[in-house]
Amino acid sequence: MRHVEEMMRRWLDQKDLDGVLRGELSDIKDKDEIYERFYKDLEFGTGGLRGILGAGTNRMNIYTVRKATQGLADYLNVHYGTGMDQASKASPSAAIAFDSRINSALFALEAAGVLAANGIKAYLYPELMPTPALSFAVRHYHCSAGIMVTASHNPSKYNGYKVYNEEGCQMTLDAAAEVLLLIEKTDIFDGVKTISGNLNLEEGFYEAVLALKERANNNMIELIQPDVTEAYLKAVQNESTGIDCSNLSVVYTPLNGTGNVPVRKIMERIGVKQINIVKEQELPDGNFPTCPYPNPEKKEALTLGLALCEQLTNEGSAPDLLLATDPDCDRVGIAIGHADEAGNTEYLLVSGNEVGVLLLDFICGVKTMPKDPLAIKTIVSSKMADKVAENYGVSMVDVLTGFKFIGEQIGVLEAKGQEDRYVFGFEESYGYLSGAYVRDKDAVNASMLICEMTAYYKRDRKTLIDRLRELYEKYGYYKNDLMEFTFEGAAGMEKMNSILGRLRAEAPSRIIDRDVVEIADYMQSQRRIFGDAGNGDYTAVTKSIQLPKSDVLEYVLEDGSSIIVRPSGTEPKLKIYLSAKGESRKESEEIIGRLKAELKESIK
């Protein structure tokens, strides 16, 4: 505790400490609160930074952003700066974008100020933009890196800072580890070069950028022009299937985030004429006043959108589809208007796995497939996609959880001149991408494809619910679910690590009265497969896992059901992914129900 109190005093002793942060620290009386803010530095990983806004080393503020950016700048100057082979490496540069969250614009400017002070050119979007547009800008300008200021779908008290490499993909494990070492060597106050000083955003973002450019006294900061945004939208539209969407009626909510302009533009370009916007969630607002947890995976985030669907239905103009994009517009959730047995329209939510399977089936069915087509999904995504891919002669590649690993595989294809082989990629957490124009999931792209898919089946008087049932009948009743356990603060993190340690040390041999036939530990890169030796004894065959090491445990049961356990990379949560396949929907749901009940008792 003494170290923590010394850190807090050091912050308060800074003469030019931000006034808001100084006042925040001065008001803290609770020792536990002081501890939570200073017991560690905000962690930097492959996803960059993510944390609660506020004062302290374990919070998102201008000083932790500056420190992280200094570490990144040192990395870029080592790998792209003086002394490198300039025939193959350009001078260091980075693109920067930001979303609608509290202080996102400020943090973007702070990052630009540190980069410029370190001789690294910063290309800065002049207005909030989706995460995939950042990936696009990195590739467009041939930058060395990219920074996206966002905390994705977290509650409003969070913000974050994602770092991208020269391919427009989130940093690799090795690169992130190198940047982390450089960050750790940087003193948060004395070790940072910056030209930002105390920025004033009251007169507007554009004016603040001009002031920053003047301080730089060179061309190290450049605003990204509208033609780049237009090029991004054209790249999205190039992935269109060409299906006529003029008969479609859509309700859309950007959840007070970045999707409002680009998603509406792309819907208009593919011919959607009836677009109904959830007004309370239309404009950017980092407080998310009507949606405390702006995650389109959660039904609560879709409450107002569903209410508007019901209202329009009662008025006689029932929409076909509800779209909801998260604040940085890389994920999209949907609900489908579908007639119940009495003929009344109800709005049914479709999971990320189900949308991924539907889109894969749709794209493979309506587009001309390239030679040796390939799709990519994460290890926690539905195995039903493997069956769909097999049906169309498409190879399926499994990667670790996180869309960055899908982006990396697209990069591998591109390096071989085979990017045209890539057909589609998805993860169960509502992230999708067709096309190799970016290296991250793209809700603008996915919204376009979902609209075209809905219109395609509407021509045959079918909804996506109808098509999904057809796929279940053909491939089997795959059911997936997710359990989340929150462990906030230092004590919570310690408890979560203890649970993971126990699961490793005491792996279960039976779950819901079924034998565990496979145990995979991705940290150890080993999969143990158990089989009957013929005398009632089970022996294990060990196989290596050809993926990067990751804190993931997997248990496969004798009926093919599976459980995957991993800590979240962006939130203080333990995530458990459940998968079952039964002879009927009811049977699959019963298996999932039993798994959830048993696991709820064991994860304590």
Backbone angles phi, psi at 240, to 5 degrees: -65, 145
CB neighbour list of residue 7: distance below 8 Å, 6 or more residues apart: 38, 57
- Would you state the structure tokens that stand for residue 11, as one six-digit string? 């912050």
Rounded to 10 degrees, the C-alpha dihedral 180/109/159/187 comes to 40
Give the largest CA-CA distance in the chain: 80
Q: Are 358 and 469 in contact (CB under 8 A)?
A: no
CB 322 within 8 A of CB 398: no
Closest Cα to residue 193, out of 112, 128, 274, 264?
Answer: 112
The answer to whether 151 and 52 have CB atoms below 8 angstroms apart is no
Beta bridge partners of 275: 250
- How many other CB atoms are there within 10 angstroms of residue 49's CB atom? 25
CA distance 330 to 152: 8
Q: How far apart are the first and last CA of the chain?
A: 28
What tokens does 517 get? 């036939």
Cβ-in-10-Å burial (0-12, 13-18, 19+) of 598 comes to middle
Nearest to 66 by CA among 121, 129, 6, 109: 109
Q: Is 550 a catalytic residue?
A: no
* Residue 96 contacts residue 122 (beta carbons within 8 Å): yes
Which tokens belong to 150? 């966002």
Task: Indicate which residue of 93, 100, 135, 152 is catalytic.
Answer: 152
Structure tokens at 350: 């479709």
Instruction: Give the DSSP H/E element, type plus range, for residue 518.
Output: strand 514-521
553: nearest Cα among 570, 567, 571 = 567
Are 160 and 50 in contact by the 8 Å Cβ rule? The answer is yes
Q: Cα separations (Å) of 479 from 215, 396, 579, 591?
A: 57, 19, 6, 9
Distances (CA, A) of 92 to 81, 82, 98, 123, 144: 6, 9, 20, 11, 6
Q: How would you label 256-275 residue by residue, b for 16+ Cβ within 10 Å and e otherwise?
A: bbbbbbbbbebbeebbbebb
Question: Over the range 369-407, which residues count as b (16 or more CB within 10 Å of their CB) and which as e?
Answer: eeeebbbbbbbbbbbbbbbbbeeeebebbbbbbbbbbbb
Report in angstroms the alpha-carbon separations of 586 from 534, 589, 591, 593. 34, 5, 9, 10
If DSSP codes are grouped into helix, strand and coil, which group holds residue 297?
coil
Cα–Cα distances (Å) from 357 to 201, 386, 585, 588, in that order, read: 44, 9, 16, 17
Catalytic residues, by residue number, are: 152
